[in-house]
Structure 1
Amino acid sequence: MIALGLKNLGFIPLDDFIVEDHGDGQVLAAWLSAQPQPSSQEIEDAALLGPIPTLDDYRRAIQSHVDATPQQRAYDSGVTCSSYVNSTNPTWAAEAAAFVAWRDAVWAYAYTELAKVEGGTRPQPSVADIVAELPAMVWPA
């Protein structure tokens, strides 16, 4: 109904937008475009894929992975682990240094892959796929 209101108020040119009211409470609204329209198969395929992940979806998933990794060593989060980098306890300091180097490698990889997607040299991966591709954490012995 918003589209109808915008169209009726003149905010959307009548030649660029169509609205069909099927009388059953459903309204179909569509932009008219000179661009080729997707086939019904392309529309069905896109619907099966679900919504396209946003940058924030990737950021949250990667940060969750980063924070979960030091929890394997009983640290509360990545922030807590990295705070031990100057610890007088050599084990904690070594773990923190290894974690900080790994965290930096994770984000460097993520931004490199984002640039590839934005540059058209890589298709956009799923959130799960990009998390699975991240460098592995190797804790000091």
Structure 2
Amino acid sequence: MTIDFSKVVTAEQRAAEALAAAMAEYSGAIQAHLEAKAHERNYDSIQSAVSYRDDPNPQFAAEAEALFAWRSAVWTYATAELGRVTAGERTQPTVAELIAELPAFAWP
């Protein structure tokens, strides 16, 4: 019997695949969190909401500016913390735990 070593998956490969899958799950959950906030004020998406920056309607402009800054803060925090996970500097949180850690948002 011959073993085809090209099909052998190492523990490191499995760990890397698991981490990549987890990162994709985090990313999707974070994006859904951002989208849900925009939907609270009937925007189609976070992208649509932030497009109202500098809008003549002061309420739209203020909401857009707040969402824009918050979106940046959320991704900055998440990227840093997930980088710490990848570097082995912190334990891997659940998706719910990471979402709970994200910067809070308050409508203007």
TM-score (normalizing by structure 1): 0.63
Structure 2, unmatched stretches of 5+, are: 12-17
Distance 2:73 2:88 in 1: 23
Larger relative contact order (Cα-Cα within 8 Å, sequence gap ≥ 6)? 2
Deviations 1:45-103 (A, max 9, x none): xxxxxx87521100000000011101111111101101101211111001000000000
| Bigger helix fraction | 2
Aligned position for 1:122:
90
Distance 2:57 2:25 in 1: 37
Structure 1, unmatched stretches of 5+, are: 1-7, 18-30, 34-50
Q: Bigger CA drift: 68-77 or 52-61? A: 52-61
Q: CA deviation at 1:9?
A: 4.3
Distance 2:41 2:103 in 1: 18
Q: 2:42 aligns with which of 50, 57, 74?
A: 74
Q: How does 1:1-141 map to 2 (within 5 A)?
A: 8-12=1-5, 54-140=22-108
SS in structure 1 opposite 2:103? coil
| Bigger strand fraction | 1
Cα RMSD over matched residues? 2.3
Q: Which amino acid in the other structure matches residue 79 of structure 2? A: Y
Q: What is the count of residue pairs matched by the alignment?
A: 99
Runs of 4+ in 1 over 6 A off after TM superposition: none
SS in structure 1 opposite 2:40? helix
